[in-house]
Amino acid sequence: MLNEAFAAAGAAAWGGLPFSELAEDMPPAAIVKVEELCPSPRTVLVAAFPYYAGERPGNLSLYARGRDYHQVVTGRLNTICNFLKEKYQNGAFLPAADNSPLPERQAAWRCGIGLRGKNGLVILPPYGSYVFLGTILTDVEVDLPSRTPSAHCVGCGKCLIACPGGALEEAGVDLDRCLSELTQRKGELTADQGALLKNHPLIWGCDTCQQVCPYNAAPALSPLPEFREGLVDALEGADLEGLTNRTFRERYGDRAFAWRGPAPLRRNLEARGE
């Protein structure tokens, strides 16, 4: 029945594992935070939701052009939680999307969802790496399907070579040179970081490592309307002119690029001379 419930919620794939197993990938501080959210955690469910809407001109990362994935994925996972509450009436079910101490990608890989990309992303054919992950944490021992941990991608290294900041290494990601990170970082950047920003085509996020990935050569479009309709492809200085933090959130609060407010976006536009 969970297969049908996840499919109805729009998930392209899902899996689950005991929290004790996932805890092997977590630092002690993160485990403490999980236990504060859910005393006696037993099971973690993880699901992938496609978001690719096609190649379109713009200066925002593809993931940020549709509705805010935190809101969308959490809302869709809530339908799963409601289903589970009927079956496990005394259980607690906590949905999250990129805003909990759970390591979502490690959970997905341990469940066998997609492949392990060298750029640290989950690659889920036919959607490529254009998927959002969400989790459900519960104190119930849910009946789970069998699983085989994810294999690695072909390891062509194109993502490492193409990274404009040289942030991708075999050992991981150097966040101080990752343009996805830098475009979202508040405050002033170093001169070197500012130079990276000046030559970057996007004012929010970075899609380079995904665009060169062979698994993303012809990704399937997302079936989810929140990520296909009403897209905001680009922002210009005029779009932000005169907006306070409050009015900015009133206009763009349903977008993933809004969580830092307008200041980083203005800085990034100025770095590009716009």
The per-residue pLDDT for 272 is: 82
**pLDDT higher than 80, residue 36:** yes
Burial 81-120 (b: 16+ CB within 10 A, else e): bebbeeebeebbbbbbbeebbbbbbbbbbbbbbbbbbbbe
The question of whether 98 is a catalytic residue gets the answer: yes
The per-residue pLDDT for 236 is: 96
Catalytic residue among 25, 98, 239, 254: 98
Separation CA 152–CA 170 (nearest Å): 13
Separation CA 255–CA 249 (nearest Å): 9
- In the predicted model, what is the mean pLDDT of residues 260-270? 95
Confidence of residue 215 (pLDDT cuts 50, 70, 90): very high
Q: Tokens in use for 168?
A: 């991708």
- In the predicted model, what is the mean pLDDT of residues 231-235? 98
Closest CA to 124 of 145, 99, 150: 150
Separation CA 18–CA 42 (nearest Å): 6
Angle at 60 between CA 54 and CA 62, to 5 degrees: 30
Question: 58-62, 193-197, 227-231: lowest mean pLDDT where?
Answer: 193-197
Q: Tokens in use for 188?
A: 């002033």
Q: Tokens in use for 220?
A: 């399937």
Closest CA to 176 of 167, 164, 186: 167
Whole-Å CA distances, 198 to 9, 58, 131: 40, 16, 28
Is residue 265 within 8 A of residue 257, CB to CB? The reply is yes
Q: What is the pLDDT of residues 50-98, one digit of tens each?
A: 999 999 999 999 999 999 999 999 999 999 999 999 999 889 999 999 9
Length of the chain as a residue count: 274
Q: Tokens in use for 246?
A: 């409050």
Confidence of residue 172 (pLDDT cuts 50, 70, 90): confident
Separation CA 271–CA 219 (nearest Å): 32
Is residue 137 within 8 A of residue 38, CB to CB? The reply is yes
**pLDDT higher than 80, residue 192:** yes
- In the predicted model, what is the mean pLDDT of residues 185-210? 94
**Average pLDDT over the chain, rounded to an integer:** 96
Separation CA 97–CA 133 (nearest Å): 6
- In the predicted model, what is the mean pLDDT of residues 205-230? 98
Is residue 51 within 8 A of residue 131, CB to CB? The reply is yes
Q: Tokens in use for 202?
A: 């996007």
Is residue 136 within 8 A of residue 41, CB to CB? The reply is no
Whole-Å CA distances, 219 to 87, 171, 255: 36, 27, 23
